[in-house]
Amino acid sequence: MTGTVDVVAIDGPAGTGKSTVAGQLAQRVGAHYLDTGAMYRAATLAVLRAGIDPADDAATGPVVAAADIRVSAGADGATIATLDGADVSREIRTDEVTAAVSPVSANPVVREKLVALQREHAVDDFLVVEGRDIGTVVFPTAALKVYLTATPEARSERRHRQNLAAGRASDLDEVLASVNRRDHLDSTRAVSPLRPADDAVHVDTSDLTLQQVLDRLTELVGERIGVRDV
């Protein structure tokens, strides 16, 4: 890392509140926010649109390599994702994409491209980056690494409530099965499996409110990075 970039890496499995926490933390401390899961989701959408089997690495690699994927944060902090110039922010959150994202994100060609893209965001800046391998692979020298955890039940409950709030049909048992399936795939894949960095601070969010998690992380940013003029 260059001396001018401060990175807060937030990793952990699905449903720990990572996206909400990372986005709001970035706003609180005046950092840019990067949601790397949105990149893997946009890559998956490109694969689905091409009508290719998401598990066929030889076929998905070239499709993702040719795709123009961009992720940024809007004025309200929400993630904006574009694929080949068109806004796909909503489309990348569908069940179809969620069901296909694990095999696509296990493809080494896909990871190589997206990790390079993620590192391009670290230019003379203050960044909160959220994902699965940020502290271990993408930014191993991050000033602060946080590993968010929560029980599978607490995580499924949250995802279920988010689905309902967004007007999406949702079945709690199915959400739990999907969370367990993705955890297994994400943590057992050969390339960049989900695991905490040795120097990550673990925060279990099962019994914490969003405000409590944000307060804890803001405190950690203050200790490790200090208050930045941005």
Residue numbers in the known binding site for ATP are 12-20
Q: How far is the CB of 101 from ligand DC (least distance, A)?
A: 4
3-state secondary structure of 117: helix
Signed CA dihedral, 173, 100, 9, 163: sign only: negative
User: For ligand DC, which residue of 121, 126, 133, 139 counts as binding (CB under 6 A)?
Assistant: 133
User: For ligand DC, which residue of 14, 21, 81, 148 counts as binding (CB under 6 A)?
Assistant: 14
Q: Does 155 bind ligand DC (CB under 6 A)?
A: no
Per-residue x/- mask for ligand DC, residues 19 to 48, rule CB under 6 A? -----------------xx--xx-------
Closest CA to 164 of 154, 175, 151: 175
Instruction: Tell me whether residue 146 or residue 226 sits nearer to ligand DC (CB atom).
Output: 146
Residues 76 to 115: which contact ligand DC by CB under 6 A? 101-102, 105
Instruction: Tell me whether residue 184 or residue 228 sits nearer to ligand DC (CB atom).
Output: 184
Residues 139/122, Cβ–Cβ less than 8 Å: yes
Q: Which residues contact 91 (CB under 8 A, 6 or more apart)?
A: 45, 97
Residues 155/14, Cβ–Cβ less than 8 Å: yes
Instruction: Tell me whether residue 202 or residue 228 sits nearer to ligand DC (CB atom).
Output: 202
Q: Does 186 bind ligand DC (CB under 6 A)?
A: yes
User: For ligand DC, which residue of 54, 131, 143, 146 counts as binding (CB under 6 A)?
Assistant: 131
Instruction: Tell me whether residue 14 or residue 143 sits nearer to ligand DC (CB atom).
Output: 14
What's the length of the chain?
Answer: 230
Residue 190 carries which DSSP code? S
User: For ligand DC, which residue of 132, 145, 159, 160 counts as binding (CB under 6 A)?
Assistant: 132
Instruction: Tell me whether residue 165 or residue 227 sits nearer to ligand DC (CB atom).
Output: 165
Crossing angle of helices 172-188 and 95-105, in 10° steps, is 10
Q: Which residues contact 116 (CB under 8 A, 6 or more apart)?
A: none
The vertex-89 CA angle with 217 and 104, nearest 5°, equals 85
Closest CA to 144 of 37, 224, 26, 209: 224
Instruction: Compute the distance between CA of residue 31 and CA of residue 48 in angstroms, rounded to an integer.
Output: 33
Q: Does 17 bind ligand DC (CB under 6 A)?
A: no
Q: How far is the CB of 185 from ligand DC (least distance, A)?
A: 7
Name the site residues for ligand DC (rule: CB under 6 A).
14, 36-37, 40-41, 101-102, 105, 131-133, 182, 186
